[in-house]
A = this chain, B = another copy of it.
Amino acid sequence: MVYAVAVLGASGYAGGEAVRLLDEHPDFHIAYLGAHSQEGLPLSSVHPHLSGGDRRFGSNDAGAVPDVDLVFLGLPHGSSFEPAVALAARGMRIVDLGSDFRMDTAGRYEEAYGSLHPEPSTLASWVYGLPELFREQIAGATRVAAPGCYPTAALLALAPLVAAGAVDGDRIVVDALSGVSGAGRSLRDDLLFGSVDEGVRSYAVGKHRHRPEMEMGLELFTGGHVRVTFTPHLVPMQRGILATCTAPAVEGLTAGRLREVMQRAYEQEPFVEVIDGPPQTRWVVGSNRVLISAVLDERTRMVIVSSAIDNLVKGAAGQAVQAANLMVGLPETSGLPLSGWMP
């Protein structure tokens, strides 16, 4: 059986990547592509790298979407509320790549986004779609909110350690480095080649929207309480996130135990690999893979755990497809690349 799907917000970077992956997916068929300002234009006008470029964008309105088995939403922050409610009412499965339904509570949403959630009563019906941590909930779900890119990298690095009580969850420092595609396709002076190339910067220090999401993910997974200090950095490359997470080791933690915790957590996971040396983003770009390594600095008694993902694949479209696979009962790895590209 092939499942018919729609992609709204298909003109953005994450939307385009979803189209690329879905076109190569043996079990999904794209029946509809929605966009906002590109409505009526061919796919090639914004994604000249995709085949089937003569397919035309419809609108992002829920009413324009035909009856399909599953809808991927790749809409800007705040734009998923309306179509999500309308499409859910028609009984369609939804995977939202955006940020509107990721938080478990309205309070957390307000903490992250600085405004009231317009549909707080719906939040409980959404599942946070990080399969490695919440696989069972996703498998039975009809509405899944795919995690943000930074939280995906940080949560997969930290969750086993916090769950095992190996680190002090109250003093976690996450410094993450992202390629520019994470910032989306916006006409901003600070995203021009002349502004980005040959330089690095941190931004939103102490107040990035993904910090509450990281804490939520850790708390949902472990049942405990954590505090994360998060500093994102923009790096002159197109794709990839490297999260360097540092936290105090609990007394008695050994390098052997650290390795054991990490290995055990992911030994069955098809997309996650725990490696010895520090991971590089180049090793995962283009794939849905996650590479993680953990080091115990005996001298300072700090654990440094690093993870690398492709922000547009495992951090967005790939993860959404992975969740969709689970939702409809397909093998979780169906249609998802395990090899990346290099050089």
Residues on A facing B (Cβ under 8 Å): 13, 16-17, 20, 23-24, 47-51, 171, 173, 175, 177, 179-181, 185, 187-189, 191-203, 205-206, 227-229, 231, 233, 235-240, 242, 244, 246, 248, 278-287, 289, 293, 295-297, 299-300, 302, 304, 306, 337-343
- Nearest residue (CB) in B for A184 is B194
Nearest 8 CB-CB pairings of A with B? A199-B282, A51-B338, A194-B343, A206-B297, A193-B196, A201-B280, A175-B175, A49-B342
CB distance B194 to A233 under 8 Å?
no
Determine the chain B residues whose CB is within 8 A of the CB of A304 once the complex forms.
205-206, 229, 231
User: Please, how many angstroms separate the alpha-carbon atoms of A340 and B341 in the complex?
Assistant: 11
- Which of B205, B231, B236 is within 8 Å of A197, CB to CB? B236
Which residues of chain B are within 8 angstroms of A17 by Cβ–Cβ distance?
341
Q: Given A231-B244, A244-B202, A246-B229, verify A236-B300 contact (CB < 8 Å).
A: no
- CB-based contact B177/A279 at 8 Å: no
Question: Separation in Å of the A210 CB from the closest CB of chain B?
Answer: 14
CB nearest neighbor in B for A237: B198
Copies in the complex: 4
Q: Is the CB of B236 within 8 A of A236?
A: yes
A102 CB, nearest partner CB in chain B, Å: 19
**Across the interface, do A50 and B205 meet the contact criterion of CB distance under 8 Å?**
no
**Complex: chain B residue closest to A178, CB-CB:** B200
Distance (Å) between the CB of A215 and the closest chain B CB? Answer: 10
Asked if B49 contacts A285 (CB within 8 A), the reply is yes
Residue ID in chain B nearest A50 by CB atoms: B339
Contacting residues, chain B, for A231 (C-beta < 8 A): 175, 244, 246, 304, 306
Q: Are B175 and A244 within 8 A (Cβ)?
A: yes
Contact of A201 among B180, B279, B338 (CB under 8 A): B279
- Nearest residue (CB) in B for A212 is B299
Partner of A235, one of B20, B47, B200: B200
Interface centre among A189, A193, A299 (most CB of B within 10 A): A193
Interface CB pairs A-B, < 8 A, 20 = A20-B341, A23-B339, A48-B283, A49-B339, A49-B341, A173-B175, A177-B177, A177-B200, A197-B236, A198-B198, A198-B237, A198-B238, A198-B282, A199-B237, A205-B295, A229-B300, A233-B242, A235-B236, A238-B343, A239-B343
